[in-house]
Amino acid sequence: MLAAVQSSTPRARAPPCARHLENRHLRVLIIEDEEKTSSYLLRGLTELGYTADTASNGTDGLHYAMEFDYDAIVLDLMLPGMDGYAVLENLRRHKNTPVIMLSARGAVDDRVKGLRKGADDYLPKPFSFTELVARLQVQTRRRNENLEATVLQVDDLVIDLLARKATRGGQRLDLTAKEFSLLCLLARHQGEILSKLMIAEQVWDMNFDSDVNVVEVAIKRLRTKVDAPYPAKLLHTVRGMGYVLEARDDAPQAEVA
């Protein structure tokens, strides 16, 4: 499946917690069925130092958007099969990745519909490449403010990335290096569901056909340290989807595996 993604450069890998110290490549997904537009964007973004993947239909695009962690998605509205609105609607149930919608229709109604469904920006076709890049920069800057933070906080859980220590309610948590990386990744994406595959890829540097049981085991261990001693649970299992770190007012017990 992964072979269908055209990648402009090999995926840069770094421990998630080291990323804020690097000038990392921004990773963009282009979901566009018009080959000409798609390859033009791929070439242009690559020249500017972005890492870009392309998908030529909504189903593949949604799949990549869910499985991988993009800094932004350029999403065409008119796509064969699943259209841009449907992709956006599905994506927004699970992820907050910034989305810029493209559409040949410039009508106000379409624009409003796109924004209502969770698009972060909207660009009518034909668009200027420079304008698209400017808008991408706005979206990724907003996201990078979070990526560049050196202290992450979820409820009373505080993670100091520079000191590489985590505390809950002021008490130091005794974590292994992997557990710390895993916690950082979850905290950086707090409120977003992360799939086992994505966690395996980013924390263990494993590829898509690896055994993801290692993730389940690590989550279980992390939970005994981060959640078990405390009344408010932060690390939640979403069945069939993955894991999410967030403070919930009323955590349903059924979901806390």
* Cβ nearer to Ca ion, comparing 78 with 82: 78
Q: How far is the CB of 39 from Ca ion (least distance, A)?
A: 14
Using the rule CB under 5 A, which residue among 33, 67, 83, 216 binds Ca ion?
33
Q: How far is the CB of 34 from Ca ion (least distance, A)?
A: 5
Please tell me the distance from the alpha carbon of residue 201 to that of residue 28, in angstroms, as a whole number.
17
Stretch that binds Ca ion, among 29-37, 82-90, 131-139, 226-234 (CB under 5 A): 29-37
Angle ∠(189,143,26) on CA atoms, nearest 5: 100
The torsion of the CA quartet 204, 210, 211, 213, rounded to 10 degrees, works out to 30
Measured in residues, the chain has a length of 257
Give me the residue whose beta carbon is nearest to Ca ion.
78
Stretch that binds Ca ion, among 4-12, 44-52, 76-84, 105-113 (CB under 5 A): 76-84
* Cβ nearer to Ca ion, comparing 109 with 209: 109
Using the rule CB under 5 A, which residue among 53, 60, 69, 76 binds Ca ion?
76
Q: How far is the CB of 117 from Ca ion (least distance, A)?
A: 17
Q: How far is the CB of 75 from Ca ion (least distance, A)?
A: 10
Tokens 């494993």 correspond to what residue? 206
Q: How far is the CB of 77 from Ca ion (least distance, A)?
A: 7
The torsion of the CA quartet 106, 112, 116, 120, rounded to 10 degrees, works out to 50
Counting contacts by CB under 5 A, is residue 78 touching Ca ion? Answer: yes
Q: Tokens for 12, please give them.
A: 């840069």
**C-alpha 42 chain-centroid distance:** 20
Tokens 């350029």 correspond to what residue? 74
Counting contacts by CB under 5 A, is residue 83 touching Ca ion? Answer: no
Q: How far is the CB of 79 from Ca ion (least distance, A)?
A: 6
Q: Tokens for 248, please give them.
A: 């919930």
Stretch that binds Ca ion, among 28-36, 110-118, 168-176, 213-221 (CB under 5 A): 28-36
* Cβ nearer to Ca ion, comparing 61 with 242: 61
> Contacts for 246-253 with beta carbons within 8 Å, 24 or more apart?
246/154, 246/190, 246/191, 247/154, 247/155
Is 64:53 a contact under the CB 8 Å cutoff? yes
Counting contacts by CB under 5 A, is residue 158 touching Ca ion? Answer: no
Q: What is the DSSP letter of 107?
A: -
| Contact residues: Ca ion, CB under 5 A | 33, 76, 78
